[in-house]
């Protein structure tokens, strides 16, 4: 009878969120994995911002980059993409030095409280507010 109760308890325990994470996640150091409050996979894309009107009346565009989210593993993301500032990536071995358009990546983030609210709401992110530096923990190419 005790064994049946033990089996029933094990079956009712929640399944860990990390169970379905890609192999690339498990290859990262534990201290890197623990820092991330948001973990997603997404396809890298480049584009341009809305135009910026200059004082002389000319229009310019900034280069924008983002990940089109394919799956959220940890955290809450309200939109379909996460904008990053690819010119301000941290210089660590856990962040791919050269991102390829159309390639899928595992992305680990620790956004500031302001950035987190924007991500949760799924709001548009101007290029100057895109995630950068210490907010990006790891970007690892998949496939």
Strand blocks (E) in the chain: 38-48, 52-53, 59-60, 63-74, 81-84, 104-109, 136-141
The C-alpha angle 99, 100, 105, rounded to 5 degrees, equals: 70
The CATH number assigned to the domain with range 20-141 reads: 2.40.50
pLDDT for 2 equals: 54
pLDDT for 8 equals: 44
Reduced to 3 states (helix: H, G, I; strand: E, B; else coil), residue 39 is strand
> Global pTM?
0.80
Which residue ranges in the chain fall short of pLDDT 70? 1-19
* Tens digit of each residue's pLDDT (9 = 90 or more) over 128-140: 889 999 999 999 9
- Kindly report the average pLDDT of the chain as a whole number: 86
pLDDT for 69 equals: 96
pLDDT for 137 equals: 96
Give dist(CA 33, CA 27) in Å, integer: 10
């Amino acid at each position: 009878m005790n064994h049946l109760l033990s089996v029933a308890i094990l079956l009712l325990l929640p399944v860990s969120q990390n169970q379905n994470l890609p192999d690339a996640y498990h290859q990262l150091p534990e201290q890197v994995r623990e820092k991330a409050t948001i973990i997603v996979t997404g396809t890298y894309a480049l584009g341009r911002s809305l135009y910026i009107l200059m004082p002389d009346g000319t229009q310019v565009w900034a280069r924008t980059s983002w990940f089109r989210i394919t799956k959220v593993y940890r955290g809450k993301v309200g939109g379909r993409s996460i904008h990053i500032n690819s010119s301000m990536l941290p210089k660590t071995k856990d962040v791919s030095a050269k991102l390829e358009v159309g390639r899928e990546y595992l992305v680990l983030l620790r956004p500031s409280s302001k950035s987190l609210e924007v991500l949760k709401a799924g709001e548009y992110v101007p290029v100057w507010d895109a995630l950068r530096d210490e907010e990006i923990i790891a970007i690892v190419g998949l496939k």
